[in-house]
């Protein structure tokens, strides 16, 4: 069963990945943020460098900050970004 | 029976200020801090104190001169995150109203970045709420700074001191 999600990338991630947004169809095994990060890392290259777990990345689901164990469902808007530096 | 809003139960003022209708603004344009503070201050005769913070662009950061600072944000989430921070402050302190204005886009040295203002009956709660809002804004609101230095562009790193400042409030619960 196809599970479409929208994934957004901000700041350093947007630049290194060369994209600010994508529509993705998640495979069944991707249930949560950590699973999604592993799935993205498997693309290799810059994706692996950003999502292999070594860099500090924060995630939001439907515009709420979440931990890596948070689940991801069809239709969600997921965002990945570096730690914030406003103010 | 519908529950009265928190504003009504905590404060017995007859009307809400204009600032209360729009307590959070994310904008490219500069702001007139004096006018914003005056609007907040004059919004209710029960207000006896306004505490505020203004952040501005420094000409040096991490040992390098900074030419410009560009701020990126997450449209939609940033506004929600700021409003949620004000709500968290409201749950801890009794104040009348708060205002956050945060700029985005490219800024120069001495440009204003952020204004946080909190108005209430007495200074103590306003000071605390203002500092709390800034500490949470620094660590939870989706903004990212990129500096232009003579060596090129670089994303600004987070500061451990910002996390420490935020965690202080968790232990004060």
pLDDT (tens digit per residue) in A32-86: 999 999 999 999 999 999 999 888 999 999 999 999 999 999 999 999 999 999 9
If 0-12 CB within 10 Å is exposed, 13-18 middle and 19+ buried, where does residue B155 land?
A: middle
Å between B13 CA and nearest CA of chain A: 31
How far is residue A31 CA from its own chain's centroid? 12
Q: Residue B48's closest CA among B22, B13, B21?
A: B13
Residue A60 and residue B74 in contact, taking contact as beta carbons nearer than 8 Å: yes
- What CATH number matches the domain at B20-167, 3.40.50.300, 3.60.10.10, 3.90.1170.40, 3.20.20.70? 3.90.1170.40
Q: Put residue B77 in one of left, alpha, beta given phi > 0 → left and psi -120 to 50 → alpha.
A: alpha
Cross-chain Cβ contact B81/A65 below 8 Å? yes
SS3 B92: helix
Min Cα distance B15 → chain A (Å) is 30
| DSSP tag of A32 | B
Please report which helix (H) or strand (E) contains residue A80, including its range: strand A77-81
The CATH number of A3-81 is 3.10.20.30
As a whole number, mean pLDDT of residues B71-78 equals 98
User: What is the pTM (predicted TM-score) of this model?
Assistant: 0.89
B134 interaction partners in chain A (CB closer than 8 Å) = 87
pLDDT grade, residue B22 (50/70/90)? low
What was the ipTM of the complex prediction?
0.95
């Amino acid at each position: 069963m196809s599970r479409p999600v929208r994934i957004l990338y901000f700041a350093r991630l947007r630049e290194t990945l060369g994209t600010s947004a994508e529509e993705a169809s998640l495979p069944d095994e991707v249930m949560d943020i950590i699973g999604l990060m592993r799935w993205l890392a498997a693309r290799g290259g810059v994706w692996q460098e950003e999502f292999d777990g070594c860099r500090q990345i924060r995630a939001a689901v439907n515009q709420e900050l979440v931990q890596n164990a948070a689940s991801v469902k069809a239709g969600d808007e997921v965002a990945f970004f570096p730690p914030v530096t406003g103010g | 029976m519908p529950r009265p809003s928190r504003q009504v139960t905590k404060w017995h003022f007859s009307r809400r200020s204009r600032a209360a209708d729009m307590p959070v603004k994310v904008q490219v344009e500069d702001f007139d801090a004096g006018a914003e503070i005056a609007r907040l201050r004059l919004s209710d005769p029960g207000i006896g104190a306004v505490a505020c913070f203004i952040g501005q662009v420094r000409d040096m950061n991490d040992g390098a001169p900074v030419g410009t600072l560009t701020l990126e944000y997450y449209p939609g989430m940033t506004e929600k995150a700021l409003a949620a921070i004000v709500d968290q402050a409201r749950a801890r302190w009794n104040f009348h109203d708060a205002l956050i204005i945060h700029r985005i886009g490219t800024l120069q040295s001495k440009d204003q970045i952020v204004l946080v203002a909190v108005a209430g009956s007495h200074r103590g709660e306003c000071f605390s709420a203002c500092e709390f809002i800034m500490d949470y804004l620094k660590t939870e609101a989706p903004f990212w700074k990129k500096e232009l230095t003579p060596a090129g562009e670089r994303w600004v790193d987070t500061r451990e001191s910002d996390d420490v400042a935020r965690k202080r409030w968790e232990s004060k619960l």
